[in-house]
Structure 1
Amino acid sequence: MKRLPVVERSWTAARRTLEGHAEVVRAVAFSPDGTTLASASGDRTVRLWDTATGQPRQTLEGHTGWVEAVAFSPDGTTLASASYDQTVRLWDTATGQRRQALEGHTDWVQAVAFSLDGTILASASSDRTVRLWDTATWQRRQAVKGKTHWVRAVAFSPDGTILASASSDRTVRLWDTATGQRRQALKGHTDCVQAVAFSPDGTILASASRDETVRLWDTATGQPRQTLEGHTGWVDAVAFSPDGTTLASASSDETLRLWDTATGQPRQTLEGHTGLVTAVAFSPDGTTLITNIGAINLNTDIMDSNVRPQDSIPAVTVADMWIKHHRRKILWLPLEYRAYVSAVHGRRIAIGCRSGRVLLLEFNSL
């Protein structure tokens, strides 16, 4: 167990506010190496910031509508931005120059994702399609159709051969990325599917839904393996541990849950959060659970259901008007700095504000 930090020693004196956006910040994302922060705004721009100094690196202009989502390529050299202007734009992260504008969607683009090898970019739109783009030429490879409702999220299998798309029509569909043909339609959820994630070996797909459940599917057959029940609110995000044995789910019921992927049984419920957790991921070594409102350090006791989270998991979170460490209020956020979106990378927390500001905080230790 780690000691709760003394605020004066744990937080650096440099607490930065990144100012420049004129409207609400709708998305933030860290580069793979953590040195750059991208912020997307309703002011139609994307801004790149140096996370060490808080200084602006680039302002990416060109979109004619709200910028809804951003994603870095695996090597960090390219940033993709998705917009209400129905386009995806690609930017050189070193120079800020636009590389390409990808057109073809007929409604706003809600999500973008790169394959793990960086060769394919997927864009999901309210026009009920997913488009696959070749990142070498930026030509469209496939236009995946067949949805009856909005496509809300996309995820690539580890080998890049399968794309999963989540829809508001309560289904998940698996697509062959080479041919664009549908492999499976996974049905069972009773409300909108919010998120999808593949296991590290690609054999299992997890889907999170507003029906308060997570479902595990066999990607080879499309058959359901487990239904994970216990949340009392929408499930907004799911992520597998690096070894594939544990699944984390985040819900509007203000809990994170850890599940055994072999049995579907719950391992731990992490309570005490007062902020909405909408994103979750494991660190590469599996020791940290990273969410949009903070980072949770997992130790060997986390898998013991008898260990209370407050005793074993120090955490920094962004919750309404406070930044908290393990439910302890350590930094009050004035109204103009309260989070619309947030992201965590290592020792840094970025908060996108409704005012258009981006607040970048750094702490020394948990």
Structure 2
Amino acid sequence: MRFIGVLVVVAVVSTAVSWLLATGLDAADKIASVVGALAAVGSLGFAVWAWGNPERGPRRSPKRVALLSGALLVVGGVPPLIVAVTAEEAPPPATKGVEWVQQAVLTGSDSRIMSLSISPNGKLIAAGDYRGEVHVWDARSGDLVKEFQVDKDVVEAVAFSPDGSRLAVGGWDTKMRTVDTDTWTVKNTFTGADDWVEALSYSADGEYIAIWSSDEVLHIRDAGSRKTVATLKDVCGAVFLDNTMLAVSTGKEIRRYDAKAKSYGDTIVTTEHSSCDLDASRGGTYLVVSGGVIGADKRKVPTRLRDLKDGKDITLQDAPAGGDATAFTHDGKHLVMSTGKGGASVWSVPDGKHVAELPRAPESVFTIATGPDGLLATGGADNVVRLFRKQQG
């Protein structure tokens, strides 16, 4: 009985220590860590009991005791310990006061959602998927308004024009098409890219559209006439800041580029690796540079938020490294970012506080879009779009 009491005390202490060491992980990973620790304690207890309990008869064979206790540890402890060790760090609990309430789950796609855009009036949500299809839903009713095939492969980018009259669609067939949102017919097809279209960005007034392809070439075109305004090489990513100015990533520098003057300006920020995923708030006050990885060990790099007016970084409270999908809310007061394992969280701008955590999706979040009146959409590997709207607490 004394031995059992000691074992219980050791198990309790081990559980507490494991839970504390798992700080920063989500509940499932904490439980996995604790189960691993308990399995280790149980294995040790079995070995002591089997080897040194004279009341149970002659001592067991040392080899047999070692094999059985080792098997108990491997079966019960190693799998959850692996889960805990390899788990991605979860963001801390959000500050109460701002909440995004899920309003609908939009279905219709049979493959991963790769890109999202919400119309300027907030009435429509467009998604491009992994099978080359575009799906458009009514944001209020959740009904599927239109679906059409534009590519045999992946639709990497969709973007509504600032006036909502066009939907730009780009993907792996190297073409970018603009679709009339009244008739849903293709109005223009932009060619010239030698590799798949990775990202699209309209200027604030809709006069220009930036088309970035995965061969690191940026094509700036007149959105109406389709004429080429500029072609920039060795570009890792770009986004319009206003009517004419873009933030353009060139190697380890992000610089301003004036589409009208056709010239580079000052360096906005320097990075330790090539940053391909850029997003800007409406009006171009803030720029977010998604993390990515660096080095042979693919070390995750924290996402950077830059105040372009002050020329300073804004620290994001307890933000995890990575954050491949990002979007600013329309009012520019919040930044939404994916956090791994199907998670997405919200940070306030410009103080960088973590203010909300969206309900976790069962699989990875690949894309985020925002609209007017606190509208927010996420899409990813589970083939659906989740629609949220901000509520004040």
**Contact preservation (8 Å) 1:34, 1:345:** no
After superposition, the C-alpha distances for 1:327-365 in whole angstroms (9 at most, x for unaligned) are xxxxxxxxxxx7245252659xxxxxxxxxxxxxxxxxx
Q: Is the 8 Å Cα contact of residues 78 and 90 (structure 1) preserved in structure 2? A: yes
Given the superposition, is the C-alpha separation of residues 54 and 121 from structure 1 closer, same or farther in structure 2, using an over 3 Å criterion? same
Correspondence for 1:156: 240
Does 2:173 align with 1:85?
yes
The structure-2 alpha-carbon separation of the partners of 1:34 and 1:183, relative to structure 1 and needing over 3 Å to count, comes to same
Residue 177 in structure 1 maps to residue 259 in structure 2: yes
Map of 1:350-365 to 2, 5 A cutoff?
none
Partners of 2:356 and 2:290 in 1: CA distance: 16
TM-score (norm 1): 0.62
Cα distance in 2 between the residues matched to 1:131 and 1:114: 12
Q: CA deviation at 1:186?
A: 4.4
1: distance between equivalents of 2:128 and 2:191? 19
Aligned equivalents of 2:198, 2:301: Cα separation in 1: 22
> Is the alpha carbon distance of 1:93 and 1:199 closer, same or farther for their aligned partners in structure 2, counting shifts above 3 Å?
closer
Q: In the aligned structure 2, how far is the partner of 1:265 from the partner of 1:16?
A: 30
Q: CA-to-partner distance for each residue in 1:100-154, whole Å, 9 max, x for gaps?
A: 111111111111122222211111111211111112212121112243xx43xx3
1:266 to 333, 353, 361: 353
Larger radius of gyration: 2
Counterpart of 2:280? 198
Instruction: For residues 16-39 of structure 1, give each alpha carbon's deviation from its aligned partner in whole angstroms, at most 9, with x where no partner exists.
Output: 7536x6x65533444334444434
Q: Which residue of 2 aligns with 1:18?
A: 108
2:318 is the alignment partner of 1:230: yes
SS at match of 1:233: coil
* 2:118 corresponds to 1:118: no
Contact 1:208 1:237 in 2 (8 A): yes
* Greater share of helix: 2
When residues 170 and 343 of structure 1 are mapped into structure 2, their CA distance, relative to the original with a 3 A threshold, is farther
Find the aligned partners of 1:227 and 1:33 in 2 and give their Cα distance: 32
Report the equivalent of 1:290.
376
Q: What residue ranges of structure 1 are gaps of 5+ in the alignment?
A: 5-9, 294-317, 319-337, 348-365
Q: Matched residues, percent identical?
A: 24
Q: Cα distance, 1:44 vs. partner?
A: 3.5
Counterparts in 2 of 1:79 and 1:30: CA distance versus 1, 3 Å:
same
Q: Secondary structure at the match of 2:224?
A: coil
Letter in 2 for 1:155: V
Do the aligned partners of 2:278 and 2:289 also contact (CA within 8 Å) in 1? yes
Amino acid at match of 1:273: R
Q: Aligned AA for 2:217?
A: T
TM-score (norm 2): 0.58
For these two proteins, the number of residue pairs brought into alignment is 283
SS at match of 1:193: coil
Segments of 5+ residues of structure 2 without an aligned counterpart are 1-95, 293-299
Q: CA deviation at 1:218?
A: 5.3
Instruction: In structure 1, give the amino acid aligned to 2:227.
Output: Q
Secondary structure at the aligned position of 1:183 is classed as strand
Which structure: greater strand fraction? 1
What do residues 216-235 of structure 1 show as CA deviations (whole Å, max 9, x unaligned)? 445469x5444546323312
Residue 64 of structure 2 is matched in structure 1 by none
Q: Return the alpha-carbon distance in structure 2 between the equivalents of residues 244 and 144 of structure 1.
A: 29
Q: Which residue of 2 aligns with 1:252?
A: 340
Corresponding residue for 1:326? none
Q: Which residue of 1 is the match for residue 156 of structure 2?
A: 68
Distance 1:49 1:341, change over 3 A: closer
Q: Distance in 1 between the 2:301 and 2:149 partners?
A: 38
Quote how far apart the aligned CAs of 1:78 are.
1.1
2:369 and 2:378 in contact (8 A); partners too? no
1:43 positional shift = 3.7
Q: Distance in 2 between matches of 1:239 and 1:29?
A: 10
Contact 2:103 2:387 in 1 (8 A): no
Check conservation: 1:212, 1:231, Cα contact below 8 A: no
Task: Give me the whole-angstrom Cα distance separating, in 1, the residues matched to 2:282 and 2:128.
Answer: 29
Structure 1 residue 75: deviation in Å?
A: 2.2
